[in-house]
Chain A
């Protein structure tokens, strides 16, 4: 993984001291709360319902064991013993004290981490495919470019007061999109052109929130050397023309929509024609320097499906289910990608105790060459596990209560913090998530249902990605009562789609039954091996509407 050089260290260290000064000036009254607000937000510090919340970046989802132990230490020392992994490859601490925030940042800096630009109207933490570098069929490792973009966007003097936040995601996988690339302000797919040269396909204007939109492809190929000039062109057009009169219409998706994709593209191209070939040219030696950090580790020569694995899978049904559901194919024979579901029954999705973080750090060192990934679906990944050690890994995870075999099933819920923590929320989302996971706790039932992405947001800002859930749930406030709308048919990945509202909202008491009704309707009408989303696409929402609302029978 990437390691800081003297410049990166200095940058993070200087920012900690700068922020320490800003906090001191705020506490002395030299800065008003209004003036302090964007400064703290650009360092990930929110004021929530009950306390400050600190959001720490995990750039492109990559962690090592030492960093994970530091996250555990911070949770234990400065918080209430846990952290919350978010849908953007960040971790949030919900209870830090303002006076200790600079010390937390010092701790993070000591392991090459930070909270820079995890909030505010600036370019946010850059996200990437969590299987980067280990998945089969990848053009190039997206972490290389995510790191380059991280550096370019850090303290960019022109783009720290954009109309609104700005999110960039990168994926290099062919035919799969695990990073919801088309739902970002800028989505980059690494592609190979007809001449064999590697570059970027650029999508702009995707996003969720109150106006969900799938991004628009504005360029099929940007050469590597031009990457930063092209990004800067998009950002400049957005900074100058993006709406500032209404914060709900300030994202680049609205600008693209109102300007028209063609005209927006023309403006970007004009800007790009002006800036390319200058100081923003990305030198090949810098790409090589950063790529060197992401070279594959020294894998041993092993074969797929070793006898030890096959025998254990045959003997142990639970292990076999975990392998079938949570383990993905690795690009190197004899290795595997193992997912750790952070969605056990009854725990808020993405929450993790300090003790479990420490345990995962140890497990990663023992079984996965020390590497850990964080996914936007609020799970963890061990990217480099020998197949002949999967059984021992599974036992170790099971000891920690981390072997839930529900990846991409109905128990693997994405959920925002909701009204339990968030000052924006209209409704609680965590209790709904818990009740649904309890209702569907039986794993055999989950496997019978098959792949089903269920996502819950406690308000229209859609942090729980409900628009792209096969089943989405949106909390709304109706006369001070919590109600929940159901959307159907959303999808975050290569088959990107925005869900459609199925009808009137349900009360907190009704919502779990309603979800079960949707699932049972699917089970009754599906064709053999047809996933929920495919059934929905085949039949539309009529049968679901009927079973949810037609109570005459």
Chain B
């Protein structure tokens, strides 16, 4: 069963993914596809229980840049863990488009990619499988701690090495 790992804790997930064929539930927070949002913009925009959007790896956040304030969640898909487009999309969302809601990784989300996702700005990960919650949280801590340093700036993670070097030199 899929679990939501948010800010390093397994957290109850109230959001429902609505696929293109399904009816949108009357109430409760929903995550819809980009196609759904574009087709049913008017009816979806009025919902008060929370609205999220799900982008395929080939769909750029630029497509929703004018609507970002309406979404409490942007879910970015990893169809396969080797498809790395969502890393750039997460950074675009937070760095350039100034999105302040939750960026969520969905799809093929694996332990060895947790750290890169974290550093690129993902806040929450949907993780499939039956691994117990305490193990997932331990995986998260281990994945983040495996490398003490980071050379390059990113959205999160350790202060880049070159800043540390020159701060140390200045001190």
Contacts and interface: CB of A to CB of B under 8 A. Distances in A.
Contact of B147 (A11, A156, A240, A285): A11
A155 B88 contact: no
A7 B165 contact: yes
Nearest to B169: A285
A152 B146 contact: no
B96 A38 contact: no
A263 interface: no
A34 B120 CA distance: 24
A18 B153 CA distance: 21
Nearest to A120: B82
A161 B82 contact: yes
A18 B89 CA distance: 27
Given A22-B112, A161-B81, A239-B87, A156 B152 contact: yes
B151 A11 contact: yes
Interface stretch (B12-20, B66-74, B156-164): B156-164
A33 interface: no
A14 B87 contact: no
Contact of A14 (B112, B120, B146, B157): B146
Interface residues of B, number: 36
B150 A35 contact: no
Contacts of A286: 162, 165-166
Given A10-B149, A11-B151, A151-B151, A160 B84 contact: yes
A154 B88 contact: no
Contact of B87 (A39, A158, A274, A283): A158
Contacts of A278: 153
A14 B147 contact: yes
A244 interface: yes
Contacts of B116: 157-158, 160
Given A121-B82, A151-B151, A236 B88 contact: yes
Given A11-B147, A159-B84, A240 B166 contact: no
Nearest to A289: B165
Contacts, number: 102
B91 interface: yes
Contact of B166 (A11, A279, A285): A285
A155 B147 contact: yes
Given A161-B84, A239-B85, A7 B149 contact: yes
B136 to A, nearest CB: 13
Given A14-B147, A18-B147, A121-B82, A157 B120 contact: yes
A286 B96 CA distance: 26
Interface in A2-50: 5, 7, 10-11, 14-15, 17-18, 21-22, 31, 35, 38-39
A14 B96 contact: no
A156 B152 CA distance: 7
Interface in B83-105: 83-85, 87-89, 91, 96
Contact of B115 (A11, A31, A157): A157
B133 interface: no
Nearest to A22: B112
B33 interface: no
Contacts of B91: 158, 236
A155 B96 CA distance: 22
B165 A5 contact: yes
Contact of A152 (B88, B117, B151): B151
A240 B62 CA distance: 12
Interface in A134-148: none
19 contacts: A5-B165, A7-B149, A7-B165, A11-B161, A14-B147, A14-B149, A15-B147, A17-B146, A121-B84, A151-B151, A152-B151, A157-B152, A158-B87, A161-B83, A161-B113, A239-B87, A274-B96, A280-B152, A289-B169
Per CB-CB distance, the 10 closest pairs between chain A and chain B, nearest first, are: A161-B84, A279-B153, A157-B116, A157-B119, A18-B146, A151-B151, A7-B161, A158-B87, A14-B147, A239-B88
